[in-house]
Structure 1
């Protein structure tokens, strides 16, 4: 059996640890070749958990990789690769991922796909040019309850959908899970700087953008976005963001927050149809189809995902080896539509006005 030669590029996002662990669990299918971080705009003052130095050490300790490059182009020139796992700053996705794809190297990149539609379309074009596959990893993809909610909505259980809502769960920022960074240390982390693609908008509003694209199956037409900073004075990025997105026959209300002690209500998706409302709460999906009732008419429990396709690693390798379709949320169509929402919402947050979608609808073969 031919091993898949894998490199890791970028250690800015702490999700690199779970991504690499998922591929590491495939055992002898994977050959860990080399890794490289991308030079940050703001050098970190900390090596505490979830910082880039910590992430790099965790990955090299796990995989045993000893080839560590300081320039990813040198790595690419020196090492034949099949796949790269990319977790650099959000703002660098466009350049790094496009370079990899154009060389014919498959890529798994952490969400969001990019920080502009222009970058996302360049990535899609590079995938076509290089004949390579791009998958965008979303932790929400591996939540059975969300998949069950989509199935029920698609079956028409609440009728025609006119509103989709999603907000992230409890979060007080990327370093609120016991890392104990000082304020000075936080100020050097890319998460808090807009030019690096930091902020709650790209970190959390992207989930609602992806899921609304999948659930509503139509391109966004216009959006209003808002960004604010309530409790993160470490840089110029926001710690709170919202998008109101207009589709042909529905609206999506998306919220991303680094300032939420407790979510209070289910994060969702909560989907409103002409015949009822569907509420997703973890792996429990409830349907309400009677006015003024606080008791659901039906409650469904999601089954576990298929064991052979329950991680990004298993899903991607199955696609490479067997040609099984990637989950729609990992694929280009949904992610390019999600980028339309994010791009339009971000532009609106800058202009203070309703902004119209770029109106470029990706279809395979049309680039």
Structure 2
């Protein structure tokens, strides 16, 4: 009975805390990234309010807004048109990766915070300009990854903080991929830029390689790798003639190694992580399942974890909490600007390594 009371009290306290503050006014810039359904179809928690949507493709806007029962009077053809009518506190960007710079160029001077969908930028040059603008104008510039909200990943990080659990970190293998964007049926507007080497910066190496770079940088507490070695392949050039559809990235650290496996060729979708120490290993199998085996144990143990607590359970709750000052973003956090500058640096080096057929040492 006491346990039930604590659970109910926790739920009440969370609801009361959210309702006690005004929702953060958010604008959505771009609808071509299909992850936008995450916010358009999100349950109303009272912490954010969509006050405008920027999308020049009227047909796309009607399809997506109609699907979620949202009015078309929210839609503006350009950011300038939006900003002339409404003043959002934050913007979430769901266009091409190449367009992220343009979003920050428009928002930063206006003091509007920005969260982009992964990765931060299409290149290090874009990323550095975005960072400079964010710092100059004092805005938060966050990057959203689905895996940031996985309880299993955070439990791995927590376990690593105790050297007695699996010993010193030695090797991490991060697997992210699916059958391919064409094969899983993403909308045409998304596919058009996702398979464009300029608008997306690459294929699977960008789309899925960024997850591994983000998680590995986080596990290494923000440390940049010594070197990056990568092999990119086109297994299906008839479907993806302009970009890679298979990527393997090797990250070298003084006493550890990271292996990122990113694919548009796997038989099933997966996002999982294997972490090996000197005396044991931890496997984050999915959102909540953690498999482990430690020194002295004869078999693996399986734990099913609860979902992460509010506001760490989804990107928009987190964004609202950051804007309201309820959460402080540390440089080593998964969503932080510092982490994601390293991510883009790793991805740039991976593309260079594959093109030159050699290991790339980071300066």
Q: How does the TM-score come out when normalised to structure 2?
A: 0.83
Provide, for residues 14-40 of structure 1, a one-character-per-residue CA deviation record: whole Å limited to 9, x for no partner: 001113333x6234x54433222368x
1:123 partnered with 2:127? no
Q: Report the Cα distance in structure 1 between the residues aligned to 2:100 and 2:280, rounded to whole angstroms.
A: 40
1:238 partnered with 2:261? no
Name the structure 2 match of 1:269: 273
Q: Report the Cα distance in structure 1 between the residues aligned to 2:198 and 2:283, rounded to whole angstroms.
A: 36
- Matched ranges for 1:129-208 at <5 A: 129-156=136-163, 157-169=165-177, 171-177=178-184, 189-197=192-200, 198-208=202-212
Q: Report the Cα distance in structure 2 between the residues aligned to 1:323 and 1:267, rounded to whole angstroms.
A: 29
In the TM superposition, what is the alpha-carbon distance from 1:350 to its structure 2 partner?
Answer: 2.0
In the TM superposition, what is the alpha-carbon distance from 1:125 to its structure 2 partner?
Answer: 1.4
Contact 1:286 1:299 in 2 (8 A): yes
Q: Report the Cα distance in structure 2 between the residues aligned to 1:116 and 1:305, rounded to whole angstroms.
A: 32
Aligned residue pairs total 335
Q: Report the Cα distance in structure 2 between the residues aligned to 1:30 and 1:186, rounded to whole angstroms.
A: 26
- Matched ranges for 1:78-89 at <5 A: 78-89=85-96
Contact 2:48 2:320 in 1 (8 A): no
Provide, for residues 279-314 of structure 1, a one-character-per-residue CA deviation record: whole Å limited to 9, x for no partner: 2212222223459x8822x44332221144311111
Worse-matched range after superposition: 126-135 or 318-327: 318-327
- Matched ranges for 1:25-64 at <5 A: 25-27=44-46, 29-37=47-55, 53-54=59-60, 57-59=63-65, 61-64=68-71
Pairing partner for 2:30 from 10, 20, 39 = 10
> What is the root-mean-square deviation of aligned Cα atoms in Å?
2.7
3-state SS of 1:223 partner: strand
Q: Report the Cα distance in structure 2 between the residues aligned to 1:162 and 1:10, rounded to whole angstroms.
A: 41
Pairing partner for 1:251 from 250, 254, 257 = 257
3-state SS of 2:276 partner: strand
Provide, for residues 249-303 of structure 1, a one-character-per-residue CA deviation record: whole Å limited to 9, x for no partner: 211100110110047xx85311121222222212222223459x8822x443322
In the TM superposition, what is the alpha-carbon distance from 1:178 to its structure 2 partner?
Answer: 5.1
Name structure 1 gaps, 5 residues minimum.
40-51, 360-367
Q: Report the Cα distance in structure 2 between the residues aligned to 1:186 and 1:131, rounded to whole angstroms.
A: 33
Name the structure 2 match of 1:49: none
Gap change, CA 1:116 and 1:186, over 3 Å in 2: closer
3-state SS of 1:242 partner: strand
Q: Report the Cα distance in structure 1 between the residues aligned to 2:246 and 2:56, rounded to whole angstroms.
A: 27
Provide, for residues 68-127 of structure 1, a one-character-per-residue CA deviation record: whole Å limited to 9, x for no partner: 333323433443221111011112222322332232111111011112222112212111
In the TM superposition, what is the alpha-carbon distance from 1:219 to its structure 2 partner?
Answer: 1.1
